[in-house]
Structure 1
Amino acid sequence: MHSDVTIIGGGPAGLATALSLDAAGLSVTVLERAPLAALADPAFDGREIALTHHAVSILRGSGAWARIPDIGISLLREARVETGRHNHPLTFDTHGTGVEALGYLVSNHLIRRALYEEVASRPGIVVRAGVATRRVRDDSDGVTVLAEGGDVACRLAIAADGRFSDIRRLRGIGAIIHDFHRAMLVCRMAHESPHHHVATQWFDDGQTVALLPVNGGASSLVLTLPPEQIETLRTMDRDRFNADIMARIGNRLGEMRLVSTRHVYPLRAVYAHRFAARRFALIGDAAVGMHPITAHGFNLGLKGQEILAQEIVAGMARDGDPGSARVLRRFEARHRMATAPLFAATNGIATLYTRDEAPFRQLRRAGLRVADSLAPFKAAVTNMLMDNKKTA
């Protein structure tokens, strides 16, 4: 089998890349280990994705945004950051900007379904599900992706198989892995008091809690604790779980009850040593797997594939080669510039706000109060959260 580009991994980043490259006139093959049913109708996995305006524009341009039901799109009108109990919050909003929201919250499974539906409508994209990829072999004029059910010869292979990418490792690319020794439990909680589309994240002694507003009188709970405590909560009966969560958040939204399945994810950040090799590129979490504290993981994944698509289009215009060394050098340089400072800053923030020693607690409280009084700082962070700028 032959294709211009082969994408290893049919998650959101891989499918978004397939759509971008199909729009550029390239033939694309997507290889995904999960069965077709998991792509066509993915199950709820607890994760709510905070999409920036730029990310929405990418999804809209691909055709996927129109496939997400309106009820599944929740406005994020304000974000609050707190530390401890009854402390001065740091707030971000869009007042005076003429924009309705900082961003939009959409369940990960709805994004995945919308992207797959759009991919399935494109005759230039072939999806092979239930297929394990063994490795990528160099050929004289391209590469061959060795996979179950038939190999694929192509001019460029792209790994989009997650932050612990086997294909990245087999291509000889290492990665920085930052283990925070914490796990994250995510689920939906219905509550009696309205959330007013305000997202709240606070750093309490021994725990980090976030409530993300979703439609239907509910919020997505994101609770970070040591893994053994998270496992206890995951298996706890519902009544005890509801009481435990209300106590943890100080009953700020009134009576709460669990209305979804519970899901647990380890907290590890990953940054690949390189984003490219000969006729090979990394996108999504295979390139940069962010700590979720700044909610930029998927947004950076979308931006990364956009940069790669732009460089491929430029390469095709120059010499008709989507996987040339020049294309990949330019992609890597641009994506590193876009991600390295944010990755370092995010890890620093995560470390500062999850340490419970007295100096760290005092620094957090003082920092939030000072930051909330600095209008230029708040405006800069608000602009970063919204990300209205187009990638050049």
Structure 2
Amino acid sequence: MRKVDVLVVGAGPAGLSLARSLAGSGLSLALVEPQSAAALAEPAFDGREIALTHASRQILQAMGMWQCIDPAEISPLRSARVMNGSSPFALGFAAERENVDELGWLVPNHLIRKAAWEVVQGQQGLELLDGTSVTAIETGTAGNTVTLGDGRRLQARLVVSADSRFSSTRRMMGIGAQMRDFGKSMLVCRLQCERPHHHEAWEWFGYGRTLAMLPLPRNQASAVITLPPQQVQALMAMDAAQFGAAVTGFFERRLGEMVPAGTRHVYPLVGVYARRFVGPRHALVGDAAVGMHPVTAHGFNFGLQSQQRLADLVTAAAQRGGDIGEADLLGRYERSHRLATRPLYEATNAIATLYNDSRLPARLLRGAALRAAHGLVPFRKMIAGHLTQRLA
């Protein structure tokens, strides 16, 4: 049975980023992924646009990933508005008020995945085990033994789950998760806008649906439409002209006519928070630890932070000749990541619950809450600061 120092399950952005962050640590790494290497090298467009904070951009730059992304596909986010129903009032954020050029950046998810794959190519000490999956994990004092679908067995001093919010290895390790199924589906699609969007993002909580508009290059926008699954399927069944007219109507022609400029994609809305982030010689990163509702656009940012926190602790332990899978080290990772994510996870779920409730009492509370947030300058500064804060 072959031995490695770290075995990472899942070659998505979180798993690949962790592998990259451990480069130069002197540790041997194995990366297990059901997809083929060819599919990882050329990820398909999936409709999702990722909002990156200043801190996340720093992490990507340090790993060399940011430099792999075509600048023409990166869209600066200069302002944002949060709107409620038919009210003309909006909660606003602007880069100029924070003395920065951008609040953040929007980058296509498939290009982030491609960049993550590119930066690990040729990395010393890293082996990709593609086209297979983990079928069992046995814990041990010196290491955990992992069995793969093709029969191979490996022992690792540390096993890391980075295999999505529906992580099978999290379940194998007996770690439960708090799951919040919102009963809605999210449809995403790129559209060409008739009027300029001025690089402003919108979050529009209507009655019966939630809309988001994310500004993209070439005056395109990503429309994010949250509706009950049956209504989403009706939109998916429309031809391009019908769909464009429907979305133009949803946004009340505020950007003029909106014409589809890409394929449509649908995702279920399910929030996940693991009851534990660690186990015996085991840790969770990315969505396996925290799978966010997209309303606050922090899911990927949390994923980047999780792998960075774990990588820093593991690298430091390796450099001093310590045990990279010891309980104390993993406990420090869990405490730091829980402290950084739990408040916003709960706040996000509360916002999503309130602003998807169209009953009259909720409508009144929705408007009052938005006005209260607008009046609290420290609150608005806190939100903007979270986007623009840089790493120390």
TM bracket (short chain):
over 0.9
Alignment equivalent of 2:342, drawn from 321, 340, 351: 340
Q: Is the 8 A contact 1:177 1:268 kept in 2?
A: yes
Moved more, 142-151 or 206-215: 142-151
Q: Is the 8 A contact 2:58 2:391 kept in 1?
A: no
Are 1:217 and 2:183 an aligned pair? no
The aligned runs of 1:173-322 (5 Å cut-off) are: 173-322=175-324
1:121, distance to aligned residue in structure 2 (A): 3.3
1:317, distance to aligned residue in structure 2 (A): 4.1
Q: What is the TM-score with the length of structure 1 in the denominator?
A: 0.97
Moved more, 230-239 or 169-178: 230-239
Counterpart position of 2:119 = 118
Kindly provide the amino acid, as one letter, of the partner of residue 97 in structure 1. Answer: E
Overall identity of the aligned pairs, in %? 47
Kindly provide the amino acid, as one letter, of the partner of residue 325 in structure 1. Answer: A
Counterpart position of 1:21 = 22
Moved more, 136-145 or 278-287: 136-145
1:310, distance to aligned residue in structure 2 (A): 1.7
**Alignment partners' CA distance in 2, 1:97 and 1:229:** 39
Counterpart position of 1:92 = 93
1:2, distance to aligned residue in structure 2 (A): 2.5
Q: Is the 8 A contact 1:160 1:282 kept in 2?
A: yes
Counterpart position of 1:33 = 34
1:96, distance to aligned residue in structure 2 (A): 4.1
Q: Is the 8 A contact 1:52 1:386 kept in 2?
A: yes
**Alignment partners' CA distance in 1, 2:368 and 2:248:** 27
Secondary structure in structure 1 of the residue aligned to 2:307 = helix
Secondary structure in structure 2 of the residue aligned to 1:121 = coil
CA deviations 1:317-359 (Å, max 9, x no partner) are 4543211111111111111111111111110111111110111
**Alignment partners' CA distance in 1, 2:379 and 2:155:** 50
1:40, distance to aligned residue in structure 2 (A): 0.3
Kindly provide the amino acid, as one letter, of the partner of residue 49 in structure 1. Answer: I
Kindly provide the amino acid, as one letter, of the partner of residue 62 in structure 2. Answer: G
Kindly provide the amino acid, as one letter, of the partner of residue 98 in structure 1. Answer: N
Q: Is the 8 A contact 1:22 1:28 kept in 2?
A: no
Q: Is the 8 A contact 1:8 1:133 kept in 2?
A: yes
Secondary structure in structure 2 of the residue aligned to 1:172 = coil
The aligned runs of 1:142-157 (5 Å cut-off) are: 142-149=143-150, 150-157=152-159
**Alignment partners' CA distance in 1, 2:294 and 2:98:** 26
**Alignment partners' CA distance in 2, 1:267 and 1:132:** 25
Counterpart position of 2:13 = 12
Q: Is the 8 A contact 2:29 2:127 kept in 1?
A: yes
**Alignment partners' CA distance in 1, 2:128 and 2:266:** 29
1:114, distance to aligned residue in structure 2 (A): 0.2
Secondary structure in structure 2 of the residue aligned to 1:199 = strand
Q: Is the 8 A contact 1:90 1:372 kept in 2?
A: yes
Root-mean-square deviation (CA, aligned residues, Å) is 1.3
CA deviations 1:33-68 (Å, max 9, x no partner) are 112222100011011000001011111101111100
Secondary structure in structure 2 of the residue aligned to 1:4 = strand
Q: Is the 8 A contact 1:87 1:365 kept in 2?
A: no
Secondary structure in structure 2 of the residue aligned to 1:2 = strand
1:126, distance to aligned residue in structure 2 (A): 1.3
Are 1:45 and 2:46 an aligned pair? yes
Counterpart position of 1:379 = 381
**Alignment partners' CA distance in 1, 2:24 and 2:358:** 49
CA deviations 1:202-229 (Å, max 9, x no partner) are 0011000000001011000100000111
Counterpart position of 2:82 = 81
Counterpart position of 2:163 = 161
Q: Is the 8 A contact 2:185 2:267 kept in 1?
A: yes
Moved more, 123-132 or 278-287: 123-132
Q: Is the 8 A contact 1:183 1:226 kept in 2?
A: yes
Counterpart position of 1:324 = 326
Kindly provide the amino acid, as one letter, of the partner of residue 312 in structure 1. Answer: V
1:132, distance to aligned residue in structure 2 (A): 1.6
Q: Is the 8 A contact 2:27 2:318 kept in 1?
A: no
**Alignment partners' CA distance in 1, 2:14 and 2:132:** 18
Alignment equivalent of 1:364, drawn from 345, 366, 373: 366
1:172, distance to aligned residue in structure 2 (A): 0.4
**Alignment partners' CA distance in 1, 2:133 and 2:28:** 21
CA deviations 1:220-246 (Å, max 9, x no partner) are 010000011111111211111111111
**Alignment partners' CA distance in 1, 2:235 and 2:154:** 45
**Alignment partners' CA distance in 1, 2:320 and 2:344:** 32
Moved more, 303-312 or 175-184: 303-312
Kindly provide the amino acid, as one letter, of the partner of residue 144 in structure 1. Answer: T
Secondary structure in structure 2 of the residue aligned to 1:42 = coil
Please list every run of at least 4 consecutive aligned residues from structure 1 whose deviation after the TM superposition is greater than 3 angstroms: none
1:140, distance to aligned residue in structure 2 (A): 4.0
Kindly provide the amino acid, as one letter, of the partner of residue 212 in structure 2. Answer: A
**Alignment partners' CA distance in 2, 1:373 and 1:330:** 37
Q: Is the 8 A contact 2:190 2:222 kept in 1?
A: yes
Kindly provide the amino acid, as one letter, of the partner of residue 249 in structure 1. Answer: F
